[in-house]
Structure 1
Amino acid sequence: MNQPRQTATYLSKRLTAAGLRPVSKYGQNFLIDLNLIDLIANSANLTKSDVVLEIGTGVGSLTSRLSDAAGAVLTVEIDKNLHQLATEELEHRDNVKLIQGDALRNKNALRPGLMEMIREAKEQIGPDARFQLVANLPYNVATPIISTLLHQTPPPDGMVVTIQKELGDRMAAEPGNKDYGALSVWLQSQCDVEVVRMLGPKVFWPRPKVDSAIIRLTLNKEKREAIGDLTYFHQTVRALFFHRRKFLRSNVISAMKNRLTKEQIDEVLTAQGHGETARSECLSVQQFLDLVHALQAAEQAA
């Protein structure tokens, strides 16, 4: 009997014995191939200087591997029953802190106190401590978790996550691709994006209806510093993709309504070399940076 089936059997028996079953509203799909769980942990290149955040503890299969390699692990599980099972599994691991509840306060904010715990854990490790997100993320929270973490202080130095393949495609998409959008620009403006492995439904239990991917995001601090006002940049980029079928000029006019006149906007676009037929999805990440900086400067001077 191969390892994935043994693991699926183990999980199903463990949950059944506790009177539990996967809860679809929490996006629970357990990764049942231990080799892939190892791959996720190994892809983060963890050391004892790392503080790791895991979203979705499950029964603790990945958590135990993170605990072996990292200095500290904060793991969050929304399901009270799974949290209890994981607590029993991980009770002798002193470097693991289990948190029961939602990792998000809302789609744009993390649960109160989470980043404070991460900062405290980094301080305990020392000045060389790194912060990493390593997780088999529930599909329904993957985008807000990753996007919101890049607004935090500190942001993750690295992220290795299992997510829906469609989301991975959007993260890594290049200009002109149908998957290229605000998320692509937001992530690529700060991180190097790499697809580690594509995953079919068979490696999960229960099987999802879509393919998945293991994605590695590595923070580029120089890129991040070049952005300046992160919130202004993120909000503006999102606004410029709000109406994908419209020309760039129309999107800029809509985004800067009551802040810049059409004449001021035309001056910025002309200076940036964007003609009347330019579209948002064709701009490179650097062109977005230059455009947003120019719009912000024009707004400040207005």
Structure 2
Amino acid sequence: MQSPQSPPRHQARKRFGQNFLNDQGIIRSIVRAISPLEHQRVLEIGPGQGAITESILATGCQLDVIELDRDLIPILEHKFGAESNFRIHQGDALKFDFGALAAGEKLRVVGNLPYNISTPLIFHLLTAHDCIADMHFMLQKEVVDRLAAQPGSKTYGRLGIMAQYYCEVESLFDVPPEAFTPQPKVQSAIVRLTPYEKPPLPANNVETLQMVLRSAFNQRRKTLRNTLKGVIDNEAIESLGIDPGLRPEQLGLVEYVAIANAIDNNSQ
């Protein structure tokens, strides 16, 4: 029987995509990669049962955590509630106001992100890039490959282009399934995203750039003349020095920003 002081037990829930990290060597490597400092504000998304939380708190930084699963809140409060530099928010990170939490400071964001929400959550975080110093995430390796992908690769697409528009992307190291309970059926990896103060290739309108990317990659096997039909004509594409016979994955960020800017200029 558990004593009154023991934290509640918790089983990983499939609907939340929960896989709890328990490899101490991997945890140390992650915290070393983040290297939180005492004066910094750190936000952990999906702390689970606090595997990384404990090591981050020990650095003395101010740590806020967001946890969706209500049943994990008592476990986290039992472990860390007495720490003056710890604060917990129960809620959905996809709806969280990161700017309000930052309150003029830059946040350092970390998390072992559930595979089922990682892509929409990263897009959500990119919209808050102004208030974020950097992001360190554990993700499905396939997602990390997409974030860091270069033109010409099969994993290159909208997610990687937008991440690289806003951030420097670094794939740090892989994490095997054995590091988790329960073990996922996929390989994981750690990625660092560092937002630029100003994008090195600024678009006139980021929404136009996103629209171009959605149109281009919705049918990635087709050529630009087909995927961008109705968005920009072939003559306008050629005037930018771009062959409309190319496929979407053959263009770099420079070309996509040029196309988006040309659309905006023609609509004025």
User: Conserved in 2, the CA contact under 8 Å of 1:151 and 1:230?
Assistant: no
Give how far 1:219 is off.
1.5
Letter matched to residue 269 of structure 1: I
Distance 1:229 1:295, change over 3 A: same
CA deviations 1:173-222 (Å, max 9, x no partner) are 11010100001110111211111111111111100000000111111223
Percent of aligned pairs with the same residue? 30
1:245 aligns with 2:221: yes
Distance 1:47 1:232, change over 3 A: farther
- SS, match of residue 116 in structure 2: helix
Runs of 4+ with >6 A deviation: none
Partner of 1:199: 175
1:208 aligns with 2:208: no
Partner of 2:152: 176
Letter matched to residue 187 of structure 1: A
Letter matched to residue 38 of structure 2: K
Q: How far apart are the structure 1 equivalents of 2:130 and 2:50?
A: 26
| 1:271 counterpart (235, 239, 243) | 239
Q: Which runs of 5+ in 1 are unaligned?
A: 1-15, 105-109, 124-128
Distance 1:77 1:180, change over 3 A: same
Distance 1:51 1:238, change over 3 A: farther
Distance 1:19 1:49, change over 3 A: closer
Matches within 5 A, 1:44-83: 44-69=34-59, 71-83=61-73
- SS, match of residue 221 in structure 1: coil
Q: How far apart are the structure 1 equivalents of 2:101 and 2:243?
A: 48
Letter matched to residue 190 of structure 2: I
| 1:115 counterpart (87, 99, 107) | 99
Give how far 1:266 is off.
2.5
Distance 1:160 1:19, change over 3 A: closer
Letter matched to residue 226 of structure 1: P
Distance 1:114 1:217, change over 3 A: closer
- SS, match of residue 216 in structure 1: strand
Q: How far apart are the structure 1 equivalents of 2:63 and 2:120?
A: 21
User: Conserved in 2, the CA contact under 8 Å of 1:247 and 1:277?
Assistant: yes
Q: How far apart are the structure 2 equivalents of 1:235 and 1:51?
A: 34
TM-score between the two structures when normalised by the length of structure 1: 0.81
Give how far 1:171 is off.
0.7
Partner of 2:115: 139
Q: How far apart are the structure 1 equivalents of 2:131 and 2:210?
A: 15
Give how far 1:98 is off.
0.3
Give how far 1:285 is off.
1.3
| 1:91 counterpart (73, 78, 81) | 81
Q: CA RMSD in A?
A: 2.0
Letter matched to residue 118 of structure 1: A
Letter matched to residue 115 of structure 1: G
1:235 aligns with 2:211: yes
User: Conserved in 2, the CA contact under 8 Å of 1:73 and 1:96?
Assistant: yes
Deviates more, 1:137-146 or 1:222-231: 222-231
Letter matched to residue 101 of structure 2: M
Partner of 2:141: 165
Q: Which runs of 5+ in 2 are unaligned?
A: 1-5
1:290 aligns with 2:258: yes
User: Conserved in 1, the CA contact under 8 Å of 2:141 and 2:188?
Assistant: yes
User: Conserved in 1, the CA contact under 8 Å of 2:158 and 2:214?
Assistant: yes
1:149 aligns with 2:117: no
CA deviations 1:143-183 (Å, max 9, x no partner) are 11111111126342211100001111111111010100001
Count of residues paired in the alignment: 263
Q: How far apart are the structure 2 equivalents of 1:266 and 1:284?
A: 18
Letter matched to residue 11 of structure 2: R
Q: How far apart are the structure 1 equivalents of 2:86 and 2:206?
A: 31
| Structure (1/2) with the larger helix percentage | 1
TM-score between the two structures when normalised by the length of structure 2: 0.90
Give how far 1:269 is off.
0.3
Partner of 2:18: 28
